[in-house]
Amino acid sequence: MALLEVEDLRVAFGASTAVDGVSFSVPEGKVVGLVGESGCGKSVTSLAIMGLLPKRRNGRPAPVTASRPVTVEAADGGTVAAPTGPPPSATAVAPVLRRRGSGADVSGRAVFDGTDLLSLAPAAMRRRRGKDLAMVFQDPLSSLNPVVPIGRQITEVLERHRGLKGDKASKEAANLLDRVGIPDPTRRLKEYPHQLSGGMRQRVLIAIAVACNPRLLIADEPTTALDVTIQAQILELLKDLVEAEGTALLMITHDLGVVAGICDEVNVLYSGRVVESAPVRELFAAPTHPYTVGLLGSIPRLDLPIHEPLTPIRGSIADVIRWHDGCAFAPRCDRVAAPCVAGEPALVGAVHAHRCVMAEEVA
Amino acid sequence: MSTEQHAEPHVPAQRTEGPDLSTAATGPVAAPLLEVEDLKVHFPIRRGIVVERVVGHVQAVDGVGLSIDSGGTYGLVGESGCGKTTFGRAVLRLEEPTGGRVRLGGDEVTAMKGEKLRRFRSKMQMVFQDPLGSLNPRHNVDMLLSEPLKVHGVGSKAERRKLAVETLDAVGLPKSVLERFPHEFSGGQRQRLGIARALMLRPDLIVCDEPVSALDVSIQAQVMNLLDELQDEFGLTYLVIAHDLAVVRHLSDRVGVMYLGKLVEEADSETIYEHPRHPYTKALLSAVPQPDPEVEANRERIILKGDLPSPANPPSGCRFRTRCPWAEDICAEVEPEWREAASGHKVACHFDL
């Protein structure tokens, strides 16, 4: 059993579906990639696993006991796991802050080390978040608190999860900064996020994430906001941390170059579903789904003859996900044929899986 | 210069000819269209509340010279903060240069002012990085595209609309979008609009500042192919500014690498990617992740230490020395000269690496 098993994860914001039945697994100590373009649902998937999506508050069923999870029919016909009781504070504050009907409907399972994270009570999830599983976000400036020194932002995690206080916590924070390659860590502890460069901020964010030696690290586009030379530094750092600690890493990115460099296994997402998943070498050696083929053909490469024409995917991603009556990629696909729009394509194959009805005939 | 306040007759005359697609297509003549000499842009750093004093300068661009042949594409690469965008803006006089000269088709852009400069702007246009931020949200496509024509007094309303439709067609958008507003388009379509707007006056030079970096991978390729096609169709000369080396390599004939306000290396795009001579270029190239696990597993990375130094207080001697893995004493003392290391291959480094 893998460390994290995501099964049939669905996330909908009101009438629009962001994630439409995503399943994948992250084995212990492995780096798994979640690749796709904007709007494919990769970030929402990670937020759902971390329990960071706002819960939908409209028409929810009554709180149930954790021992007997109840599912209810959702509007779209899928089943929605009834969220366990909200904390008292949330009930008191949330209706004031949030419009009725906003928030996300999350269903499916995300089994982490035997526990379904999606069915955990918020308090139980808080105990795990930052300790057993941690996250590195894309934009380090907006994920760090601008008015709190970075040292405090690191010690906060250490206090909460490891019970370290005072000098001990500061010392550990300095160690962490040193470990992520920030020079002169003791002085840096007192600095504020705006005093650091983009690469440094991302290192701080990684330091906070690895503070409690999590078993799973989720990195959501950790290098997208950075320059190439800094990106190389950060990727190297993530690789070292993962190797040294045996941490599993879920890497969310749009950059197939990053995937090729760091991942062991890859899941390609399109329009809220996995369209292809394979070990990294197999995926790049023999991409099967036309979308993966298209993505690879769209990237200008430094190791191919110069001015080689690119073969882009035509059109652009549709706002409305439609997988029910056919392949959502069909309108942009060059291989499209009658079976593509005749029904829902299934994910076939075990090690190298793909969601394309035409794949066998073409290959 | 003040005697040139009145516009030269030939510029407006040429522009009022109306929708003639071939005016700018001068054919592939290998004469430099754009010549830039020793361009400098320094921004003053001011301190003080009541009395502002200048306490220093950010040397955003500090002596950059290059030339682009007519119909050619020059790619300028560098990381954020290296001054590449400021350079592009200064070439178009959107930023006032502190020193140096810019000549476009023989006319000295840096010496122009007032009405003459305003009219001259029809020859040089820009495509911006953020297509949503650079299109007025309250203007529909018709208004967006005819605006530059109105500003330069080109054609009647009907002619302007005809030209707008032709240009939309050239960038791959249907006529039906004329009444729509920027928010109704996807990112890739917006960038097509941005390109169409830059094309409306049929300019000679287009400065593309990060033309694809805000777009998804599959859309990037579409826009890059479009830029290629338009270059042939309209005889355009491009200055492409980007941080992505693969994008620049794909689009450009000649590539210049900038670091902290200066060019460190310049060569034909094939040469610079095959045989980079400057340590910074080598590091940049080795840092670009390749979409191939075999290549990634076997490549040797040069990981640069630290961040870009402040351009307000650049290091002495060679500006790259603080991060250079090969730096020696001489690098801190003497600024390396901008020398021709091989035919057509210029580099600013003391060593032959």
What is the Cα–Cα distance from A52 to B133, expressed in whole angstroms?
A: 30
Q: Is the model's pLDDT at A94 over the cut of 50?
A: no
Question: Residue A225's pLDDT is what?
Answer: 80
Environment class of B29 (CB within 10 Å of its CB; exposed 0-12, middle 13-18, buried 19+): exposed
pLDDT tens-place string over residues B44-77: 988 888 888 888 889 999 999 999 999 999 999 9
Residues of A within 8 A of B284 (CB-CB) are 228-229
Angle between helices A166-179 and A150-162 (to 10 degrees): 110
Question: Residue A141's pLDDT is what?
Answer: 83
How far CA B117 is from CA of B2, B93, B299, in Å, comes to: 12, 9, 50
In terms of Cα–Cα distance, which of B267, B280, B276, B273 is closest to B327?
A: B280
Q: Radius of gyration over alpha carbons of chain A, in Å? A: 21
Q: What is the 3-state secondary structure (H, E, C) of chain A?
A: CCCEEEEEEEEEECCEEEEEEEEEEECCCCEEEEECCCCCCHHHHHHHHCCCCCECCCCCCCCCCCCCCCEEECCCCCEEECCCCCCHHHHHHHHHHCCCCCCEEEEEEEEECCEEHHHCCHHHHHHHECCCEEEECCCHHHHCCCCCCHHHHHHHHHHHHHCCCHHHHHHHHHHHHHHCCCCCHHHHCCCCHHHCCHHHHHHHHHHHHHCCCCCEEEEECCCCCCCHHHHHHHHHHHHHHHHHHCCEEEEEECCHHHHHHHCCEEEEEECCEEEEEEEHHHHHHCCCCHHHHHHHHHCCCCCCCCCCCCCCCCCCCCCCCCCCCCCCCHHHCCCCCHHHHCCCCCCECCCCEECCCCHHHHC
What is the Cα–Cα distance from A258 to A222, expressed in whole angstroms?
A: 10
Smallest CA–CA distance, residue B224 to chain A, in Å, is 8
Check CB contact under 8 Å for B218 and A303: no
A6: confidence class by pLDDT, cuts 50, 70, 90? very high
Residues 74-93 of chain B whose Cβ lies under 8 A from any Cβ of chain A? 79-80
The lowest-confidence range among A196-210, A315-329, B321-335 is A315-329
Q: What is the mean pLDDT of residues A134-146?
A: 89
A156: left (phi over 0), alpha (psi -120 to 50) or beta: alpha
- Residue A56 sits in a domain whose CATH number is 3.40.50.300
B30: confidence class by pLDDT, cuts 50, 70, 90? low
Q: Is the model's pLDDT at A171 over the cut of 90?
A: yes
Q: Is the model's pLDDT at A96 over the cut of 80?
A: no
pLDDT tens-place string over residues B189-200: 999 999 999 999
Q: What percent of chain B has pLDDT over 90?
A: 65
Residues 228-247 of chain A whose Cβ lies under 8 A from any Cβ of chain B? 228-233, 235-236
Domain coordinates of chain B in residue numbers?
Answer: 2-46+53-252, 264-353
Q: Which of B270, B284, B295 sits opposite A228 (nearest CB)?
A: B284
pLDDT tens-place string over residues B174-221: 999 999 999 988 888 999 999 999 999 999 999 999 999 888 888 899
ipTM: 0.77
Closest-CA residue of chain B to A227:
B79
Residues 108-127 of chain B whose Cβ lies under 8 A from any Cβ of chain A? none
Q: What is the mean pLDDT of residues B257-281?
A: 93
What is the Cα–Cα distance from A299 to A308, expressed in whole angstroms?
A: 11
Q: Is the model's pLDDT at A76 over the cut of 70?
A: no
**Which residue carries 């361009």 as its tokens?**
B39
Q: Is the model's pLDDT at B4 over the cut of 60?
A: no
Direct distance between the N- and C-terminal alpha carbons of chain A, in angstroms, rounded to an integer: 32
Q: Is the model's pLDDT at A147 over the cut of 60?
A: yes
Smallest CA–CA distance, residue B277 to chain A, in Å, is 17
What is the Cα–Cα distance from A233 to A239, expressed in whole angstroms?
A: 10
Classify domain B2-46+53-252 at the CATH topology level.
Answer: Rossmann fold (3.40.50)
Tokens of A271: 């329009």
What is the Cα–Cα distance from A203 to A282, expressed in whole angstroms?
A: 32
Extract the runs of DSSP E, i.e. beta strands, from chain B.
32-47, 53-69, 73-77, 99-104, 107-108, 124-127, 205-209, 237-242, 254-259, 262-268, 339-342, 345-347
Question: Residue B225's pLDDT is what?
Answer: 92
Check CB contact under 8 Å for A227 and B221: no
How many domains, in total, are found in chain A? Answer: 1
Q: Is B55 on the interface with A (CB under 8 A)?
A: no
Residue A84 inside a domain? The answer is yes
Question: Residue A319's pLDDT is what?
Answer: 66
Tell me which residue range forms the domain holding A115. Answer: 4-132+214-314+321-362
Cβ atoms within 10 A of the Cβ of A307, count? 14
Q: What percent of chain B has pLDDT over 70?
A: 92
Residue A149 inside a domain? The answer is no
What is the Cα–Cα distance from A209 to A245, expressed in whole angstroms?
A: 13
Residue A266 inside a domain? The answer is yes
B295: confidence class by pLDDT, cuts 50, 70, 90? confident
Query: How big is the A-B interface in CB pairs under 8 Å?
Result: 135
Q: Which of A235, A294, A307 sits opposite B218 (nearest CB)?
A: A294
Smallest CA–CA distance, residue B192 to chain A, in Å, is 13
Question: Residue B194's pLDDT is what?
Answer: 94
Return mean pLDDT, chain B: 87
The lowest-confidence range among A285-294, A320-329, B190-199 is A320-329
Q: Between B186 and B150, name the one with better pLDDT.
A: B150
Return mean pLDDT, chain A: 83
